[in-house]
């Protein structure tokens, strides 16, 4: 997708039981059931657990990539993936599922692999490694590495490179179609920016398409580029991006950037400037509003109290309410105006989302990374706060105890710290004093001595199957 969206795990996935163009049945199953079926069909339940886990991660990531890139929808099909092993994964409808595989899938189905710094789930291709070899994971090779004592992440890095990480506890949603309505001249929206980004990338291979500014505004230059694109690819020549034109753009962009391949150009989270523009208030328009709305929407994924905003390019009442909720969360004056302080907490919260996905998984680094700062308190925004949040999350005994590691000392952080203090017989101040610091480092030191490696957390850990969609 030529847009910095946050991937998700589909609640359901539709599988075509044959090659894409074959006259075969489509079946829709829950995503965990799909992965259980694929894993039971592809690998052996008697393999080492680390090998099975590595293969399941690859199978999940591959399937989520198909959904994220709209691989088949962009070609005019009405399904998400096929069961053709020539291009997708083995799926035997109605087969029996192995119990140990089922249990492992239940633990990690809402996870995927990605390259550090990229947004898209890795198209983690693989093969059996005996009769067929490929550039991706070798299934039998993974078992051999497991027998040597390697864990699942080490196995994955062996085949896909060291610049990968596992994102876990990813939000779950119904499949989201990127196309919603025709986009035409005069519009100012996120969809226009998507079109402009795609056209510019495609123009590198089709230079007759003129380069255009990515300003979210559908003006004369964008219309001219759309018409040229339509003429080249034999689409209705109207300068309007309808469904056919939209998905042709998506299909070509995905192919040219290699988003559905192991080694892709990579989809970044955001390409616009994130510097404070100036105060943003009700009625404002322009690029600064578009950027603010994007950040607010990203944050709303992880904080249910913040309403989801739309990409309109105009700062409206809903945006004001979202800003007020953000300000309330950080004890700022609830003006609904994005002043510099509000921008800072919005930006830091967004960066926390990004950095939570970028955390290294090296257990050696974890062993030497301890908290050193004292007197961290409500309202602080810095790296030390994020370190505190990360340690509290590692120590947490339940998912409900986990907090957003965004570097901003929120009410949630203070409450979680106070909970730790209560558990360890300390004064419940919610402030990181010397004794609390000593206790956290002590508990954390003991924890990492017992654990091998922990996956990167997708920030909104409370989302799960059956949760309400955004």
| Domain map (residue ranges) of the chain | 9-173, 190-257, 287-348, 362-452
Domains 190-257 and 362-452 share a fold: yes
CA-CA distances (angstroms) from residue 294 to 5, 99, 191, 253, 269? 9, 42, 12, 21, 10
Amino acid 53: pLDDT: 96
Token pair 């998984």 is found at 361
State the pLDDT at residue 311: 67
Which residue, among 274, 307, 304, has the nearest Cα to 404 in the 3D structure? 304
* pLDDT attached to residue 397: 74
Collapsed DSSP state (helix, strand, coil) of residue 167: strand
Task: Compute φ and ψ for 213, nearest 5 degrees.
Answer: -75, 140
Classified as helix, coil or strand, 137 is strand
Domain 190-257 sits in CATH at 1.10.101
pLDDT attached to residue 194: 85
Per-residue pLDDT of the chain (470 residues; tens, 9 = 90+): 444 456 789 999 999 999 999 999 999 999 999 999 999 999 999 999 999 999 999 999 999 999 999 999 999 999 999 999 999 999 999 999 999 999 999 999 999 999 887 878 999 999 988 888 888 999 999 999 999 999 999 999 999 998 898 888 787 888 888 888 899 999 877 788 889 989 999 998 898 999 998 777 899 999 999 999 999 999 999 999 999 999 999 999 999 988 888 888 877 655 444 567 788 999 998 767 877 887 887 787 677 788 888 767 789 999 999 999 999 988 899 999 999 889 888 887 877 665 554 443 333 233 223 444 556 776 666 667 777 888 888 888 776 677 876 667 777 888 888 999 999 999 988 888 878 888 888 887 777 665 433 333 333 322 222 233 33
Pairing of strands 9-10, 172-173: parallel
Q: Return the pLDDT at 365.
A: 30
Please name which of 247, 453, 260 lies closest in space to residue 367, comparing C-alpha atoms. Answer: 453
- Residue-level length of the chain: 470
Predicted pLDDT at 451: 47
Fold for 362-452, please state it. Muramoyl-pentapeptide Carboxypeptidase; domain 1 (1.10.101)
Contacts with 421 (C-beta within 8 Å, 6 or more apart), sequence order: 427, 428, 429, 430, 436
User: Residue 450 belongs to what H/E stretch?
Assistant: helix 434-450
């Amino acid at each position: 997708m030529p847009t910095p969206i946050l991937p998700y795990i589909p609640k359901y996935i539709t599988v075509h039981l044959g090659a894409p163009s074959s006259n075969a049945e489509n079946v829709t199953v829950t995503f965990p059931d799909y992965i259980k079926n694929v894993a039971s069909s592809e690998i052996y339940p008697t393999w080492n657990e680390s090998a099975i886990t590595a293969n399941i991660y690859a199978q999940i990531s591959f399937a989520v990539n198909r959904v994220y890139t709209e691989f088949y929808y962009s070609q005019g099909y009405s399904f998400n993936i096929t069961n053709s092993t020539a291009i997708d994964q083995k799926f035997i409808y109605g087969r029996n599922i192995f119990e140990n595989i089922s249990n492992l899938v239940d633990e990690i189905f809402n996870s995927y692999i990605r390259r550090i710094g990229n947004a898209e789930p890795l198209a983690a291709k693989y093969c059996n490694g005996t009769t067929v070899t490929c550039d991706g994971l070798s299934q039998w090779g993974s078992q051999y590495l497991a027998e040597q004592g390697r864990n699942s992440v080490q196995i994955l890095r062996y085949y896909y490179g060291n610049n990968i990480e596992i994102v876990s506890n990813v939000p779950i949603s119904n499949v989201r179609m990127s196309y919603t309505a025709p986009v035409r001249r005069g519009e100012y929206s996120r969809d226009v920016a998507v079109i402009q980004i795609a056209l510019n990338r495609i123009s590198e291979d089709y230079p007759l398409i003129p380069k255009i500014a990515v300003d979210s505004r559908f003006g004369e230059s964008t219309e001219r580029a759309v018409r040229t694109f339509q003429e080249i690819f034999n689409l209705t020549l109207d300068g309007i991006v309808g469904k056919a034109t939209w998905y042709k753009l998506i299909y070509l962009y995905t192919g040219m950037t290699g988003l559905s391949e192991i080694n892709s150009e990579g989809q970044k989270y955001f390409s616009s400037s994130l510097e404070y523009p100036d105060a943003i208030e009700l009625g404002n328009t322009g690029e600064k509003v578009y950027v603010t709305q994007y950040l607010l929407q990203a944050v709303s994924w992880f904080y249910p109290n913040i309403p989801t905003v739309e990409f309109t390019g105009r700062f409206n009442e809903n945006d004001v309410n979202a800003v007020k909720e953000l300000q309330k969360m950080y004890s700022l004056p609830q003006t609904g105006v994005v002043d510099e302080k509000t921008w800072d907490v919005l930006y830091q919260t967004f960066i926390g989302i990004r950095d939570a996905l970028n955390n290294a998984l090296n257990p050696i680094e974890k062993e030497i990374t301890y908290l050193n700062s004292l007197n961290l308190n409500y309202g602080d925004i810095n790296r030390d706060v994020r370190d505190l949040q990360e340690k509290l999350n590692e120590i947490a005994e339940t998912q409900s105890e986990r907090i957003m590691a965004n570097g901003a000392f929120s009410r949630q952080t203070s409450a979680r710290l106070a909970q730790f203090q209560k558990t360890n017989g300390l004064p419940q101040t919610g402030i990181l004093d010397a004794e609390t610091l000593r206790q956290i480092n002590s508990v954390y030191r003991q924890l990492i001595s017992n654990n091998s490696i922990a996956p990167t957390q997708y920030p909104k850990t409370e989302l799960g199957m059956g949760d309400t969609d955004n």
